[in-house]
Amino acid sequence: MERIIGKCGSGHKGPLLIFVAGIHGNEPQGLIALENIIKELEDGVHEKRGRMIALRGNLRAIKEDKRFISEDLNRIWSHNENLHDDVWEMKEMAELKSIINQELELGFTEAYLIDLHTTSAPTIPFVVTKEINPDKQLIHDIKVPFITGLEGHLDGTMLSWMCKKGHCGLAFEAGQHHSRTSMIKHESFIKLAMYYTGFTPSLSAEELKDLRIHLDDELMPKHNHFKLMDHYHIKQEEEFEMEPGFSNFERIYEGEILAKNQDGEIISKHDGNIFMPLYQKEGRMAFSL
Ligand SMILES: [Zn+2]
């Protein structure tokens, strides 16, 4: 399996788009979407400006259909590689960093790193990015809900590394791991990102409308920017259980019962929107407001 899914250059000045999928090895839909898009770009229907490159994340974990081998590849980007060379993912990260750094040396108008993910539970599509991101315009243009303020919870992510370099870094969560809908939402997000960054500037109104319909979800909230206000940390021995029926970004109210544990009910301290990450199985966070 190769690291590079494909590359596409135009010879014209423009943005640099770096797409990564499979940084978690058990999330195949982003990989399929990127393979499809690279094939379409090779057919050369659309005018292009700048460059794009599509990369596979954790090659060994993808082969073994596991989230990771020894450590989560999307939590180690702030580590010093020399101190952890017994961790398999350090090798994968070093290769990714080297390719991305080479691309960044080639010149561009703006650079974007877009990291494609899916989740174990169903969710509406959403973006995670940093509060300090040099360019959130792309996220506003695509009009998907996005969450910031996770700094301290999601340290060492690839997107943080890119933002620290002064470029746009974001993660897109399309939906559930093995749903075909997630692949379709990935494809639509990638194509809208290529359009709004100016890489493929000449999509027709009809094409744009179709992409929006495919990305949309009837449960999408009315506004787009969510900032983490509070969170609940599940302890290792805690018998934590969410109340059934919540969906991501659903409106919740102060005093509402959100979950239960061995001591009783866990109640919302705020009015807000619920955000149930992704990592419930690992017991790190359950809900945020
Ligand atoms: Zn993931």
Does residue 174 lie in a domain region? Answer: yes
Q: Which pTM does this prediction carry?
A: 0.91
Q: Specify whether the CB–CB gap between 108 and 50 falls below 8 A.
A: yes
Domain co-membership, 242 together with 208: no
The pair of structure tokens assigned to 192 is 């809208």
Please state whether beta strands 126-129 and 146-148 pair in parallel, antiparallel, or not at all (unpaired): parallel
- Judgement on whether residues 184 and 254 belong to the same structural domain of the protein: no
For residue 87, the CA-to-ligand 1 centroid distance in Å is 19
Task: Tell whether 177 and 239 lie within a shared domain.
Answer: no
Is 200 in the same domain as 236? no
Domain end call among 167, 192, 215:
215
What spacing in Å lies between the alpha carbon of 27 and ligand 1's midpoint? 6
Rounded to whole angstroms, the Cα distance separating 221 from 144 reads: 9
- pLDDT at residue number 287: 55
Q: Which residues fall inside 5 Å of ion ligand 1, going by CB?
A: 24, 117
Q: What is the pLDDT of residue 10?
A: 79
Q: Separation of 164 CA from ligand 1 center, angstroms? A: 21
Q: How many angstroms is it from 11 CA to the middle of ligand 1?
A: 33
120 DSSP 8-state letter: S
DSSP-derived letter for residue 143 is: T
53 CA from centroid of ligand 1 (Å): 19
Per-residue pLDDT at 213: 95
Here the CATH number for the domain that contains residue 83 is 3.40.630.10
Residue 28 Cα to ligand 1 midpoint, Å, equals: 10
Structure token digits, residue 57: 């994340």
Look at residue 63 and tell me if it is in a domain. Answer: yes
Q: Are 4 and 38 in contact (CB under 8 A)?
A: no
CA 162 to ligand 1 center in whole angstroms: 17
115 CA distance to ligand 1 middle (Å): 9
What CA–CA distance (Å, rounded) separates 264 from 186? 39
Do residues 210 and 241 share a domain? no
Task: Find the 118 Cα to ligand 1 centroid distance in Å.
Answer: 5
172 within some domain: yes
Tell me, yes or no, whether 156 and 204 share the same domain: yes
Of 161, 191, 215, the domain-final residue:
215
pLDDT, tens digit only, all 289 positions of the chain: 999 999 998 788 999 999 999 999 999 999 999 999 999 998 877 889 999 999 999 999 999 999 999 999 999 999 877 777 789 999 999 999 999 999 999 989 999 999 999 998 888 999 999 887 767 789 999 999 998 888 777 779 999 999 999 999 999 999 999 999 999 999 999 999 999 999 999 999 999 999 999 999 888 887 888 888 888 888 888 888 888 888 888 889 999 999 999 999 999 988 888 888 655 544 444 555 5
**Structurally, how many domains does the chain consist of?**
2
Identify the domain containing residue 108 by its residue range.
4-215
267 lies in the same domain as 175: no
Mind listing the pLDDT tens digit for each residue in 84-138?
Answer: 778 999 999 999 999 999 999 998 999 999 999 999 888 899 999 988 776 778 9
Q: Is the domain of 82 the same as that of 128?
A: yes
| Domain end call among 169, 186, 215 | 215
Q: Which two tokens stand for residue 258?
A: 């959100």
